[in-house]
A and B are shown apart, each in its own frame.
Chain A
Amino acid sequence: DVKVTQSSRYLVKRTGEKVFLECVQDMDHENMFWYRQDPGLGLRLIYFSYDVKMKEKGDIPEGYSVSREKKERFSLILESASTNQTSMYLCASSLPRSVTFQETQYFGPGTRLLVL
């Protein structure tokens, strides 16, 4: 079974703090993704990565950065947290489409972040 883990289930941070959300997958997947989920809006893609040290902006990258130094780990960084970044953050991983043809993604349990 694919396992995707996220470092925290709940986090409370103050405005202006630097926040690190960590994601680790154990299935040697090339692709990794960060989403945020807000009520009624579905999952929105923040950043994704197809390989180590490679990153691409998703639909809503503003205020975020990412790091992928190792294949199994993809970190989301909030350089200076703001209240509008209060949300549920989900990490996912998948095999490349050249292997599977469909982009089935495997998700972590999510981190619920509250920025005060």
Chain B
Amino acid sequence: ILNVEQSPQSLHVQEGDSTNFTCSFPSSNFYALHWYRWETAKSPEALFVMTLNGDEKKKGRISATLNTKEGYSYLYIKGSQPEDSATYLCAFQNAGNMLTFGGGTRLMVKP
């Protein structure tokens, strides 16, 4: 079983703060790295799919970077808002087609 780790497990920030969290994954046999956002009582939704070393993706105030050589990805949220409160999941995709998920980072943004 592949080891995909996310840190921190949970995070409390004030509205307006910028924040970031980490996903680490195996650096061998890499195919893609996925980020999902999972809001309470909703379905997890895909945020980004990243495939190339050095990739940066952005969607509004959320961005992500990828380093496949050292096996990590950062997710950044600029100016956090209460609606950003969710669990953020990363998933490592290897050449075998399966996704291996990390444990998630639970973000809570206080107004």
A42–B99 CB distance below 8 A: no
- Report B's interface with A, CB cutoff 8 A: 1, 4, 6, 9, 31-32, 34, 36, 41-46, 49, 51, 89, 91, 93, 97-99, 101-104
Q: List 12 A-B contacts (CB under 8 A).
A: A35-B101, A42-B101, A42-B102, A43-B101, A44-B101, A48-B98, A97-B97, A103-B98, A104-B46, A106-B46, A107-B43, A109-B42
Number of A-B contacts (CB under 8 A): 53
Interface residues of A (CB under 8 A from B): 4, 35, 40-45, 48, 58-59, 90, 97, 102-110
A6 to chain B, nearest CB (A): 9
B97/A103 in contact, CB under 8 A: yes
Cβ distance B8 to chain A, nearest Cβ, rounded Å: 12
